[in-house]
């Protein structure tokens, strides 16, 4: 196995320790709220996402993400797309300010915990940008569906919390509002297909790490210098 792939081993470690179990918890909360309080399902999942964030990143990490959401929502009130982009870029750039980085590192006992905050805040910034832009683009009649509460439900939706994938707010809102009849057979089939898909891509990634030593190669100059440009290409 190529041991140099930092991100794969990093996420596998986090997944085994906590993230996988938090995703199972999300699934249970989602199904229970769908059965008993479907009207309040987005808010149940929002509270769960906030609790999971607090558990993994601590109160300070949670406060940073909440602060980014508040600032983004406040700037979106001006309904200027350019201003939203400037705000997002400024918030993102704060991740690379040495003094801020050092202060955040002191919140945690290990580098891995700091990097989890770093990755998560980066991805949350994309979600804040998506919500703010769509707030700017929609007319006054649609503003009620773009409340701050909906923004929090979107930003703290746990399955997309740490690593995405990115789903724009309109699509998220549409899926959350959709009323579906509960069918155990259908739900089970969707769950099984989803597990098979995850297992397939997981195996493929593991196979690549065992056969294609990409990270080990680019961290060693000797084989790179010996190869022709065609081989490198």
Condensed to tens digits (0 to 9), the pLDDT of residues 103-134 reads 999 999 999 999 999 999 999 999 999 999 99
CA 230 to chain centre: 37
Q: Do the Cβ atoms of 118 and 91 come closer than 8 Å?
A: no
220 with 123, same domain: the answer is no
76 with 107, same domain: the answer is yes
Per the structure, how many domains does the chain have?
A: 2
Domain of residue 62, residue span: 5-180
Is 231 within a domain?
no
168 with 190, same domain: the answer is no
Q: Enumerate the H helices of 77-147 as residue ranges.
A: 81-93, 98-105, 111-137
Is 216 within a domain?
yes
User: Average pLDDT for residues 172-183, to the nearest whole number?
Assistant: 79
Is 175 within a domain?
yes
Per-residue pLDDT at 182 exceeds 70: no
CA angle 176, 85, 117 (to 5 degrees): 65
Is 233 within a domain?
no
What pLDDT, in 10s, does the model give residues 40-57? 999 999 999 999 999 999
Is 87 within a domain?
yes
139 with 217, same domain: the answer is no
Q: List the one residue out of 151, 142, 154, 156 whose CA is nearest residue 56.
A: 156
27 with 137, same domain: the answer is yes
């Amino acid at each position: 196995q190529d041991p140099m792939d930092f991100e794969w081993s990093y996420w596998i470690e986090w997944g085994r320790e906590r993230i996988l179990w938090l995703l199972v918890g999300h699934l249970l909360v989602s199904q229970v709220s769908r059965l008993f309080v479907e009207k309040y399902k987005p808010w149940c999942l929002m509270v769960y996402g906030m609790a999971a964030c607090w558990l993994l990143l601590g109160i300070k990490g949670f406060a940073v993400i909440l602060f980014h959401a508040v600032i983004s929502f406040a700037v979106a009130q001006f309904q200027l797309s350019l201003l939203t982009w400037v705000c997002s870029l400024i918030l993102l750039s704060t991740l690379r300010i040495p003094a801020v980085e050092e202060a955040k590192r002191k919140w945690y006992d290990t580098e891995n915990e700091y990097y989890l905050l770093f990755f998560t805040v980066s991805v949350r910034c994309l979600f804040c940008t998506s919500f703010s832009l769509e707030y700017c683009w929609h007319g006054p009649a649609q503003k009620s569906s773009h409340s701050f509460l909906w923004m929090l439900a979107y930003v703290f939706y746990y399955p997309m919390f740490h690593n995405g994938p990115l789903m724009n707010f309109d699509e998220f809102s549409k899926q959350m509002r959709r009323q579906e009849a509960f069918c155990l057979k259908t739900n089970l089939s969707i769950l099984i297909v989803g597990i098979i898909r995850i297992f397939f891509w997981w195996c493929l990634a593991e196979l690549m790490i065992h056969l294609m030593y990409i990270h080990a190669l680019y961290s060693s100059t000797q084989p790179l210098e010996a190869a022709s440009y065609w081989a490198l290409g």
